[in-house]
């Protein structure tokens, strides 16, 4: 077995290093937490840190000596390629929240041991996400090739977002405060909002218990959702953060408290709360099963209402949610019954969220009732104007898709389209230069115009 400084084996050296680290953490904790720490405590902390540094240097010198004994005396690994924790050449360099780079296996072990600080800076970590450092990995690979060595193979660990017992304990403590005083509730809600935003591992914890979400939403019981706007805002934002996690989407949507609470927040919350509620419905609607749940719950009416009179940020989130929900056929009918066509066309005519709302209209145009309403409220001139003036090819495509549906439904509208085509040739240009789908729809309308003209000539 290889020996290190002072004749110690690798195992003995590792044990001594671990012991020194524990002692250093204890002393530093006493200095930071103690109101009146002694000078002796500070001296012992410095001595321990010095001993730890000396041990690390000895281990590195032994590594070089062993390399020399094996015929590789000239190969000294640059410090920037060594993991600050293990001192070894990094196989899979990753970046911690503080911006420091470590070898994945070493920093994961550090985190699994319950540490929540950066080993180099001692900063408390805002999250435990490990981001691959491709630049350093490429530099290591090039250096290895230059030394005639094979680049190190990464040792992958699928658990990037480490969940520890301390995380579970902290979450339970925060959830317990939800049934305490208002000040405790507000403090815990702010922490939960921050933790679920920055730490994917905290989002995942909610999927481990069926009681976590009811505990979280306890302060927002029916009829009390907007009793305290700040508390409501933080809790709805937390639900949004939770819904981002794929394993939580079904759990959140199926909880009987969540969707009614989101609907109430859409109606009566602050601007940020309404936006978060709409964004949550959008995120949850990524699953088809959730589209049905949300649609049946009556959420489309409040979303359309928010689209009509909401803040620009909230309107965009509402439009995204409506689009997703209307991908399910039965939700198209629900949206139309709630007045979606009139609201959307008015916003488009006002130049608001044109891209997003045209996409919704294109989906709704597959519904007979929507096409009838669009023909009645003057959609044709608006759509033709966008096709002439808008430079976005996707918008032109959606316009011609909607026009094609109107033409198939109501032949009387062909005359208005024919007048525009004779004056500007908008459809002819689109049939030549549009997207493949736009070309097909434009050609279909032009052919229908030609057939109608032929029939008119024969009848005349």
> Rounded to whole angstroms, how far apart are CA atoms 260 and 224?
12
Same domain, residue pair 104 and 185: no
Same domain, residue pair 125 and 176: no
CB neighbours of residue 261 within 10 Å: 22
Looking at residue 158, its pLDDT comes to: 46
> Rounded to whole angstroms, how far apart are CA atoms 90 and 105?
9
Residues with Cβ within 8 Å of 291's Cβ and at least 6 positions away in sequence, in order, are 285, 324, 325, 327, 328, 331
Same domain, residue pair 215 and 187: yes
CATH number, domain of 196, equals 1.25.10.10
Looking at residue 1, its pLDDT comes to: 43
Of 311, 340, 359, at which residue does a domain stop?
311
Looking at residue 2, its pLDDT comes to: 45
> Rounded to whole angstroms, how far apart are CA atoms 127 and 202?
9
Same domain, residue pair 183 and 298: yes
- CA distances from residue 75 to 30, 62, 84, 154 in whole angstroms, order as listed: 42, 13, 19, 21
Same domain, residue pair 230 and 302: yes
Looking at residue 460, its pLDDT comes to: 45
Cross-strand bridge partners of residue 124:
117
> Rounded to whole angstroms, how far apart are CA atoms 335 and 338?
5
What are the structure tokens assigned to 88, written together?
Answer: 């070894």
DSSP state for residue 95 in the 8-state scheme: E
Looking at residue 164, its pLDDT comes to: 66
Same domain, residue pair 171 and 143: no
Judge contact between 374 and 345, C-beta under 8 A: yes
Same domain, residue pair 302 and 174: yes
CATH number, domain of 135, equals 3.30.40.10
Q: Which domain holds residue 187?
A: 167-311
Looking at residue 329, its pLDDT comes to: 94
Of 87, 113, 147, at which residue does a domain stop?
147
- Structural domain contains residue 37: no
- Structural domain contains residue 337: no
Same domain, residue pair 123 and 184: no
HSE (CB half, 13 Å, CA atoms) of 129?
13
- H or E segment to which residue 277 belongs: helix 271-284
Looking at residue 166, its pLDDT comes to: 72
Looking at residue 37, its pLDDT comes to: 66
Judge contact between 218 and 259, C-beta under 8 A: no
- Structural domain contains residue 232: yes
Between the CA atoms of 186, 189, 194 and 196, what dihedral angle is there, to the nearest 10 degrees? 180
Same domain, residue pair 255 and 181: yes
- Structural domain contains residue 109: yes
Helix (H, G, I), strand (E, B) or coil at 205: helix
- Structural domain contains residue 215: yes
Q: How many domains does the chain have?
A: 2
Same domain, residue pair 124 and 232: no
* Full-model pTM: 0.66
Residues with Cβ within 8 Å of 22's Cβ and at least 6 positions away in sequence, in order, are none
- Structural domain contains residue 244: yes
Strand order in the sheet with 101-103: 101-103, 93-95, 131-132
Looking at residue 20, its pLDDT comes to: 78
Of 147, 179, 204, at which residue does a domain stop?
147
Looking at residue 3, its pLDDT comes to: 45
Q: Which of 210, 202, 197 is nearest to 236 (CA)?
A: 197
pLDDT, averaged in runs of 10, over the chain (460 residues) = 49 73 79 68 76 68 49 69 90 89 88 79 76 88 86 62 73 93 95 88 87 94 72 96 91 95 93 95 94 97 93 90 95 96 95 94 94 89 92 94 91 86 93 94 92 57
> Rounded to whole angstroms, how far apart are CA atoms 235 and 216?
7
Looking at residue 161, its pLDDT comes to: 54
Judge contact between 111 and 103, C-beta under 8 A: no
Residues with Cβ within 8 Å of 275's Cβ and at least 6 positions away in sequence, in order, are 311, 313, 314, 317
Same domain, residue pair 122 and 258: no
> Rounded to whole angstroms, how far apart are CA atoms 42 and 38?
7
- Structural domain contains residue 64: no
- Structural domain contains residue 237: yes
> Rounded to whole angstroms, how far apart are CA atoms 383 and 404?
11
Same domain, residue pair 135 and 229: no
């Amino acid at each position: 077995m290889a020996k290190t400084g002072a004749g110690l084996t690798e195992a003995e050296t590792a044990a001594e290093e671990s012991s020194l680290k524990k002692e250093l953490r204890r002393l530093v904790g006493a200095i930071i937490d103690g109101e009146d720490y002694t000078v002796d405590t500070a001296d012992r902390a410095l001595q321990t840190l010095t001993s730890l540094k000396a041990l690390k240097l000895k281990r590195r010198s032994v590594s070089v000596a062993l390399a020399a004994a094996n015929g590789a005396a000239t190969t000294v690994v640059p410090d920037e390629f060594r993991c600050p924790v293990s001192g070894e050449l990094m196989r899979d360099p990753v970046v911690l929240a503080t911006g420091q780079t470590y070898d994945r296996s070493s920093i994961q072990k550090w985190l699994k041991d319950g540490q929540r600080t950066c080993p180099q800076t001692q900063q408390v970590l805002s999250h435990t996400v490990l981001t691959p450092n491709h630049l350093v990995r490429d530099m290591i690979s090039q250096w290895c090739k230059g030394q005639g060595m094979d680049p190190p193979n990464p040792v992958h660990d699928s658990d990037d977002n480490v969940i520890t017992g301390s995380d579970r304990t902290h979450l339970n403590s925060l959830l317990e405060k939800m049934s305490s005083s208002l000040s405790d509730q507000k403090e815990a809600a702010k922490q939960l909002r921050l933790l679920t935003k920055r730490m994917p591992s905290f989002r995942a914890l909610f999927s481990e218990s069926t009681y976590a979400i009811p505990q979280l939403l306890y302060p927002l019981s029916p009829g009390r959702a907007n009793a305290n706007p700040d508390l409501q805002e933080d809790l709805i934002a937390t639900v949004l953060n939770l819904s981002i996690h794929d394993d939580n989407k079904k759990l959140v949507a199926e909880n009987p408290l969540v969707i009614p609470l989101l609907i109430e927040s859409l109606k009566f919350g602050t601007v940020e709360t309404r936006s978060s509620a709409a964004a949550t419905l959008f995120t949850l609607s990524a699953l088809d099963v959730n589209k049905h749940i949300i649609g049946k719950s009556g959420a489309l009416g409040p979303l359309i209402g928010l689209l009509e009179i909401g803040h620009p940020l909230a309107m965009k989130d509402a439009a995204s949610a409506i689009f997703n929900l209307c991908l399910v056929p039965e939700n198209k009918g629900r949206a139309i019954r709630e007045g979606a066509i009139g609201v959307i066309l008015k916003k488009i005519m006002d130049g608001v969220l044109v891209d997003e709302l045209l996409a919704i209209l294109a989906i709704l145009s597959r519904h007979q009732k929507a096409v009838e309403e669009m023909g009645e409220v003057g959609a044709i001139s608006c759509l033709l104007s966008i096709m002439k003036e808008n430079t976005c090819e996707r918008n032109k495509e959606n316009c011609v898709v909607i026009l094609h549906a109107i033409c198939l439904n109501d032949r009387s509208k062909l005359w208005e389209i024919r007048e525009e085509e004779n004056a500007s040739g908008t459809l002819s240009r689109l049939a030549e230069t549009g997207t493949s789908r736009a070309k097909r729809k434009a050609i279909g309308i032009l052919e229908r115009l030609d057939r109608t003209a032929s029939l008119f000539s024969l009848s005349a």
